[in-house]
Amino acid sequence: MVTLRETAEKMDKEDDLARFRDEFYIQEGKIYLDGNSLGLMSKRAEKSLLEVVNSWRDFGIDGWMSGKYPWFHLSEKLGEQSAPLVGAEAGEVIVTGSTTMNLHQLLSTFYRPEGKRTKILADKLTFPSDIYAMQSQLQLRGLNPDEHLIRVGSRDGWTLEEDDIMEAMTDEVAIMVLPSVLYRSGQILDMEKLTKTAKKRGILVGFDLCHSIGAIPHQLHTWEVDFAFWCNYKYMNSGPGGVGGLFVHQKHFGRVPGLAGWFSSDKSVQFDMEHQLTPAKDAGAYQVGTPHILSLAPLIGSLEIFTEAGIERIREKSLKQTAYLMELVTQELEGMGFSFANPVENRRRGGHVCLVHEEAVRICKSLKEKGVVPDYRAPNAIRLAPVALYTSYSEIWEAVQILKEIMEKKDYERHEKKREVVA
């Protein structure tokens, strides 16, 4: 039976990715189910960080062109290694900036309101910082966000219908920016279908991949997505504040970036020190300032693991683990007030399970106190993310047993019904 510990142990023994768990620092006595907010440190990420720190010590300024990982081309090298994870061609990915900074860069470049095409299409469930960036870009152009930012609503408060999004693709829309995976419910949007429809209607398309990169495969180049952007500190395990990434389809190569800077330059002429920018011929043009080398460094080791494990195998295990988690919740927590906000269908479910409960904030406090690290999202969501590279099936089983005990004993009632400053 699925509820037996032996079932979980058997699944662990048959797991061909189980060996990667030893690559990570697992806190003793903790079951970490918050990798969709911040991934755990791997030993390879630690090693590559220390190697880059040491190159600063050993080479000083010469570290830009010397050592195991010369800094001058490091963003491009990591972009090339990241490309398979998003289905990109050579030169279409650069590791740079942060999620919001990259969105500002891409909107500054691609959002060109003209005639009646002045509107940006988004949704009401997207992460707030994306909305802040879109509102800012509209205001910089003298446009009222209340009029020019369209946010497609949700029928159930958790998910989006692709039909509703496509209905909003009018001839007044210039550009569309949507999440690949909704951060609360974990729903995957049909990126290929939405992109194809938008293209037919003359709309540029961008996706926020923060909750999908490292968890699901993508085919951005084939789907003809215009641009995408993401962080690398969730499923990609690059560390807190790790440098983000962006994708620009090669059909846009040669375009001058909206926010030009020192590292937007073609590297072969960068140190000619001319006052006229010669932009890089690929996604490298969308860099702005000098790369944050020490924040880039952990991604070197992390990407080695992804290359070995393979995103298809990671996705296969992720689906199996979230399905197992849902099955346990259904059987063990029946009648305790829980429901699923995430889609149950594999093709629509990302890397985490979203449980809804009116006491979510207090339940999360009890879970954390008892060694299970969840993620709370106001007002009533508990996000649980088994990460294929380091979460075991036995941990999933044990986490549900702990949750069951909390509910049976009403342990959560000891806690204040108020979230912490950082949720």
- DSSP sequence for 405-423: HHHHHTGGGGS-S---S--
Containing H/E element for 49? helix 43-59
DSSP, collapsed to helix, strand or coil, labels residue 151 as strand
Residue 88 Cα distances to 197, 264, 353, angstroms = 20, 20, 28
Which strands sit side by side in the sheet containing 339-340, from one edge to the other? 339-340, 353-356, 381-384, 375-377
- Please determine whether the domains at 5-32+310-414 and 47-308 fall in the same fold group of CATH: no
pTM over the 0.75 mark = yes
Query: Which long-range contacts (C-beta less than 8 Å, at least 24 apart) are formed by 52-57?
Result: 52/293, 52/294, 52/296, 52/297, 52/300, 53/294, 53/297, 56/293, 56/294
Domain ranges of the chain: 5-32+310-414, 47-308
User: Domain 47-308 belongs to what architecture?
Assistant: 3-Layer(aba) Sandwich (3.40)
Residue 313 Cα distances to 38, 56, 193, 215, 288, angstroms = 21, 36, 24, 10, 35
Of the candidates 49, 62, 97, the one whose C-alpha atom is nearest the C-alpha of residue 304 is 49
DSSP, collapsed to helix, strand or coil, labels residue 15 as coil
Q: What residue type is 161 in one-letter code?
A: E
Could you give phi then psi for residue 322, rounded to 5 degrees?
-70, -35
CATH code of 5-32+310-414, in short, is 3.90.1150.10
Q: Output the known binding site for pyridoxal 5'-phosphate.
A: 99-100, 127-130, 208, 211, 233, 262, 290
pLDDT < 70: residue spans in the chain: none
Half-sphere exposure of 166 (CA within 13 A, CB side): 14
Q: Output the known binding site.
A: 99-100, 127-130, 208, 211, 233, 262, 290
Residues in contact with 137: Cβ distance below 8 Å, sequence separation at least 6, in sequence order = 104, 107, 108, 111, 120
| E-strand stretches of 11-51 | 31-32
The Cα 258–Cα 248 span in angstroms is: 13
The Cα 326–Cα 34 span in angstroms is: 16
